[in-house]
Chain A
């Protein structure tokens, strides 16, 4: 028995050692830094993918039928693509990845059909998975891949034969390393022939090449003949995608110098992570009128805080992230981490990167328990009504021919001060600024009273036909719907075979009663707005809420508590409603109002308290002196 045990241990140790050795051996040249702060030079050969999905031949710029280079096989020569591919930006489709704090959804909208649905592959509460709307990963990628750095749904291998055949032609949307790491100013994500356009043309395989400065892509998969095979194409194929490489970019060995940097420049992040907050009353805001995040003006870049290593498990930067993140910098890279020390109370990390350690003079400590740092420091200054916000991903900012209308869908409102758990459902809830969207979609009610989205194809066909006379608004705003039209659509959906059709919009669920009339419900969870935290732009400390006076928030008309959040809907009767900010903070009007009202008397409180203290102090002093006098008298009488 003992011998067997020893033998088992020896075998286990040997296996473990060999596994470790294999892992060690699997490390590629660029997987681990040698410690040098100098930027490695990337003078490298480019490789394409072959028809079997493996590493193909080296790119020859003189080949008129040259394939687009593959980042998987080009960058993957020195960097473990498999590890990178599992990073935060690319792993949304992996159900095993903790979703973490709710983030920005992808917003599918159609103003004429009254649709505005927040979608995501991540399991954030309140969002819908794309397949529930009938979108395959490839279709989802075609619509939203413009602002994705590749990977994720773009690399999902379909199971259906037809979809597999399509993917054979279009290729997968590989992780586009250049989207973040190419420091060359010619990196083209959004212009007329850049990355976004290629994705929208389903040129997934060509998108990364089209974005770089030394290649140009013409044609598209959709314009090619049905028999087009990218691996066995001929020059006579019209409309098919072609890559034209800049021959001058290649050296004699066929290597290309790529201006790759470890730390992604902020301009690269901005392509997908820009925000535009419109002014009050839907006034346009020009970029030059708004300041950048204070961290940027202080000389930092995005990746100074949002860090990652090869695993690309980038720090998102919220408190509590360390519990679910494998990134060792997570705890030290939140607001508190840099400015106060990490969340475990380790003050050594406080003040990193020159972060000022705030004193918060005169701010009662309850604020730090009830509010996120961003509540006072981030986003636009709260106004009586939260303003419309545009984001790169929701509004295609930075791409060609993008609409600059203020009221174009989707409608995102900010800042809405919502009380939500900071990290997950188990963490204490705090109030913080959020962006908020009101879902609007056609669905069906199941036996459990939960709403299932109706497939987009059905919506296009049935709802489109029922609303064919509804005029399209040139600004891209909602086409106005009346309850009668909603009733007509619901009836049409019912006739098309949908059981218990409903329309959700502006926090209200519309359904047909037994008589065929439209009824509405306001408390259905499917109609609840989806809000996600807003962290940037961080304002300077001097522009924080509460600087100088408490009544910025604690007043009976303060926007923080009593601002009116518009209820967004194509139905006028619904969109005329508004919800006060305190309703999103899970508190009551009476409690909020009384507290705000009490601040009128706060100066008097201070005067009375200080006056009383002064009187008591004088009495104590007076009788203390008298006592001293009595002692002195006793002592003096001894003479």
Chain B
């Protein structure tokens, strides 16, 4: 069941992103290859001159590499071969996992501030609340920046999902849970990783979109 749902969910995600990209072009090179290089440079190479900025970028770079490795090693055997992860794929998965967790923790600290929600993120919500609750809230008539709001939601979703994602595996390594719970944590890890991966993909896509929008 997981195999079917995961494949469908990932296809829907990628198709959705592709349709969104086509429906709202963000500019940049039209050639796919040079476009990819452009995107890569936007995300990783171009950086602010401060040390913290460079570290944040480096951390993000490592996290992205880890994510790609974890996603491939984790989803490939399950989705393509219909098997559980094992052997060298599992060794690689388990090696990159703590590095990813560490990077995620650093990104949580360094990025959380800039990802705080404000009234400007969802002016329609402010208007709705003002109308329904008659509360006095600051009015903001600027157009809604959907991408930014979803970007922030994706960020917090990543952090929120990271907790059960990591703990579901770590807890199973302690002599705490019996077989039934072991199966549960394994299933939880699998399902959460799917949602987590979608959140990361959406977050990355929107990060690129926002960076491109800033350059324009």
Q: Which residues of A contact B (CB under 8 A)?
A: 358-366, 368-369, 591, 594-595, 598, 602, 604-606, 608-613, 615-617, 619-620, 622-623, 626-627, 634-635, 637-638
Contacts and interface: CB of A to CB of B under 8 A. Distances in A.
B175 A616 contact: no
A604 B178 contact: no
Contacts of B167: 613
Contact of B177 (A362, A594, A608, A613): A362
B15 interface: no
B166 A613 contact: yes
A279 to B, nearest CB: 31
Contacts of B112: 619, 622-623
Contact of A637 (B94, B104, B136, B172): B136
B173 A608 contact: no
A591 B159 contact: no
B109 A619 contact: yes
A620 B186 CA distance: 24
Identify which of A358, A361, A594 gathers the most chain B CB atoms within 10 Å of its CB: A361
The 4 closest A-B pairs by CB, nearest first: A362-B175, A359-B178, A612-B101, A615-B105
B41 interface: no
A627 B117 CA distance: 8
Contacts of B178: 359-361
Contact of B135 (A366, A598, A612, A638): A638
Nearest to A615: B105
A617 B112 CA distance: 12
Contacts of A358: 179
A360 B136 contact: no
Contacts of B98: 604-605, 608-609, 612
B132 interface: no
Given A605-B97, A612-B105, A634-B137, 7 more contacts: A364-B172, A364-B182, A594-B88, A609-B170, A620-B159, A627-B116, A635-B135
Interface in B100-145: 101-102, 104-105, 108-109, 112, 116-117, 135-137
A638 B136 contact: yes
A615 B91 contact: no
Interface in B134-177: 135-137, 156, 159-160, 162-163, 166-167, 169-170, 172-177
A539 to B, nearest CB: 19
Interface in B164-216: 166-167, 169-170, 172-179, 182-183, 186
Given A612-B104, A612-B105, A598 B94 contact: yes
A574 to B, nearest CB: 32
A302 B160 CA distance: 54
B48 interface: no
9 contacts: A360-B179, A362-B177, A591-B88, A608-B98, A612-B166, A613-B170, A619-B159, A620-B159, A620-B160
Contact of A365 (B94, B135, B182): B182
Nearest to A590: B88
Contacts, number: 104
Contact of A361 (B166, B169, B176): B176
B86 A366 contact: yes
A369 B84 CA distance: 10
A613 B94 contact: no
B95 interface: yes
B159 A610 contact: no
A362 B104 CA distance: 26
B87 interface: yes
B108 A363 contact: no
Contacts of A637: 136
Given A613-B167, A620-B160, A623-B116, A591 B87 contact: yes
A20 to B, nearest CB: 47
Contacts of A626: 116
A591 B88 CA distance: 7
A531 B105 CA distance: 51
A365 B95 CA distance: 20
A359 B136 contact: no
B97 to A, nearest CB: 7
Contacts of B172: 362, 364
A606 B171 CA distance: 9
A358 to B, nearest CB: 8
A217 B190 CA distance: 71
A617 to B, nearest CB: 6
Given A604-B98, A609-B101, A620-B159, A362 B174 contact: yes
B109 A615 contact: yes
Identify which of A611, A612, A634 gathers the most chain B CB atoms within 10 Å of its CB: A612
Contacts of B163: 613, 616-617, 620
A605 to B, nearest CB: 5
A609 B162 contact: no
A602 B108 contact: no
Contacts of B109: 615, 619
A617 B164 CA distance: 10
A358 B178 CA distance: 8
A626 B178 CA distance: 38
Nearest to B86: A366
Contacts of A612: 98, 101-102, 104-105, 162, 166
Given A612-B101, A634-B137, A605 B179 contact: no
Interface string B53-93: 00000000000000000000000000000001011100100
